[in-house]
Structure 1
Amino acid sequence: MPPISEILPFVLALAAAGVVAGLLAGMFGIGGGAILVPIFFHVFGLLGVPEEVRMHLALGTSLAIIVPTSIRSFMAHRQRGAVDMQLLKGWAIAVPLGTLLAAAVAAKASSTELRLIFAVIALVLAFRMIFNRASWQLGEDLPRNPFKFLVGVAIGILSGLMGIGGGVLNNTFMTLYGRPIHQAVATSSGVGVLISLPGLFGYLWAGWGEAGLPPFSTGYINWLAVALLIPITLLMAPYGARLAHAMSKRQLEMGFGIFLIVVSAQFFLSVYS
């Protein structure tokens, strides 16, 4: 076991990351993966984790943290009867399949490639948030299979490659097809379970035996970060939610969109500078 003097800076840096991630996750009403991944990438860099495994570790650890929060959120939404269980049952294979495919891609991809993938998807999501209009609609109800199944696979792949719970992607899909935003948000909590659980095992497998991983890591999951971040983010999220209530929905969308553009720009710069 590493000496306390080596572990303490790691713990303090991760605790600070948890405070920021919890506040922002509470403000923007998401699981926090899009926030945690760039924070983890920079914190792991400050702590000397090699660049070759840093992005992989950030993605896997983010998905592991989403597991308990998504399960807790799903159970709460389901009790209120707000979840579209039919959609989730239809995606019980599609979404986990996509997430496992993402882990397989991550196992072969370089840190540079993963950062570029994250940056591109973040940029697309940012423009969706900034230019979003309630009038945008593709249909009156969700499409049928095989298109719906393929959308589930795509959400799993994109979320697995970004280390997120898929809330932004599923919300977009459901609202474009006429579903109310409250049902979309509630159902996204279940999508988060379908993504985070296979994602956890996928990144465990993908990073098994990799060199250069920090202490307390199994595959691309750092358990010290998981143990620290879950209680801190859960503690800080309500404070972020209070801040959110002082802002309009449009201000929140703009704020999160700008945040994603900044993150995307940082990743592009880290690759090309």
Structure 2
Amino acid sequence: MSWTLVVALCAMGIFGGFAAGLLGIGGGMILVPFMTMIFESLRVPPQLIVHMAIATCLATILFTSISSVRAHHLQGAVQWRIVRLMAPGILVGSWVGPWIGKQMNTMVMALFFGLFVAVAATQMLIDTKPAAHRDLPGPGGMFAAGGVVGVLAGLVGAGGGFISIPFMTWCNVRIHSAVATSAALGFPIALAGTLSNIYFGWGEADLPRYSFGFIYVPALAVIATASVLMAPLGARTAHKWPVRRLRKAFAFILYALAIYMLWKGVALARTK
């Protein structure tokens, strides 16, 4: 890799790691649009660009999650009971998500990513107050919720915070705890999703050199190193910010990502 590319990947890792700690979204989803640009510059075949961007960014969450969770745990904010109840469903869903993604072409994946992220951003920005009596569902409901989070996170290369945080706040979990718990949920999502992307990408034609399934290892190494260093700072910042500011930051970052990926999807459609 050129030094220019290494610097760009480091910048992505710094930004993604801080955002992961701040917003509990794993950082992967934020990095996907930038990774698509990187793969375009590397002349990766167009039909593989979004698949590889999602897979590589999802793999970085394995490392970012551990660093972020440690900082949130020291603040006493992680609700480990929620993690235990949702993790089994997440493991199943995160394996299935990349398989679904493999069946979709790049244009469809880009459009799906953009639309889904825009919906999640709107839900966070509206800030509708949940009913006071609403609580988290029982074990069966939590398993199902984990499965949905896992499928969608594996499909778009995210740590699941874009859906798990709105779900938890809708069930009257305080947003600071929801962010911290979502960071913990990012690890099983990334683990199952990464293994799935390796399995389903293995033997794929036209993969660039140093790819491991759909994962581009050089980019993973650089981004993971930078993001692990920054995630604790983001986590500490999250606990200093008021709820309203945290929700707005979460929503507007998601809107920016949604606009880019929708534009990408439309551009791909025009080339058909």
Superposed CA offset, 1:121-174 (max 9, x none): 1101110222114x2247432112533322111010111112111123222222
TM-score by length of 1: 0.85
Name the % identity: 36
Cα distance in 1 for residues equivalent to 2:203 and 2:184: 31
How many residue pairs were aligned? Answer: 267
Is residue 161 of structure 1 aligned with residue 155 of structure 2?
Answer: yes
Cα distance in 2 for residues equivalent to 1:246 and 1:86: 24
Cα distance in 1 for residues equivalent to 2:80 and 2:252: 33
Cα distance in 2 for residues equivalent to 1:85 and 1:251: 25
Superposed CA offset, 1:21-75 (max 9, x none): 3454455454212211111111211221122111111111111110122234445
Superposed CA offset, 1:193-214 (max 9, x none): 2201011100111211223333
Higher mean Cα deviation, 257-266 or 193-202? 257-266
TM-score by length of 2: 0.85
Show the counterpart of 1:3.
none
Change (3 A) 1:16 1:257: same
Change (3 A) 1:85 1:259: closer
Q: 2:202 aligns with which of 208, 214, 224?
A: 208
Is residue 221 of structure 1 aligned with residue 215 of structure 2?
Answer: yes
Cα distance in 1 for residues equivalent to 2:16 and 2:176: 23
Show the counterpart of 1:188.
182
Change (3 A) 1:124 1:248: same
Unaligned runs of 5+ in 2: 268-272
What is the SS of the residue equivalent to 1:70? helix
Letter in 1 for 2:169: T
Higher mean Cα deviation, 71-80 or 100-109? 71-80
Unaligned runs of 5+ in 1: 1-5
What is the SS of the residue equivalent to 2:251? helix
Show the counterpart of 1:37.
32
Cα distance in 1 for residues equivalent to 2:73 and 2:236: 24
CA contact under 8 A between 1:106 and 1:206: conserved in structure 2? Answer: no
Change (3 A) 1:79 1:243: closer
Letter in 2 for 1:100: W
Letter in 2 for 1:51: P
Change (3 A) 1:256 1:190: closer
Letter in 1 for 2:166: T
TM-fit CA distance, 1:263: 2.0
Higher mean Cα deviation, 262-271 or 217-226? 262-271
TM-fit CA distance, 1:181: 2.9
Change (3 A) 1:19 1:88: closer
C-alpha RMSD over aligned residues = 2.8
Cα distance in 2 for residues equivalent to 1:141 and 1:243: 28
Change (3 A) 1:235 1:86: closer
CA contact under 8 A between 1:208 and 1:220: conserved in structure 2? Answer: yes
TM-fit CA distance, 1:216: 1.8
Show the counterpart of 2:270.
none
Structure 2 matches for 1:193-272, cutoff 5 A?
193-237=187-231, 249-272=243-266
Is residue 15 of structure 1 aligned with residue 10 of structure 2?
Answer: yes
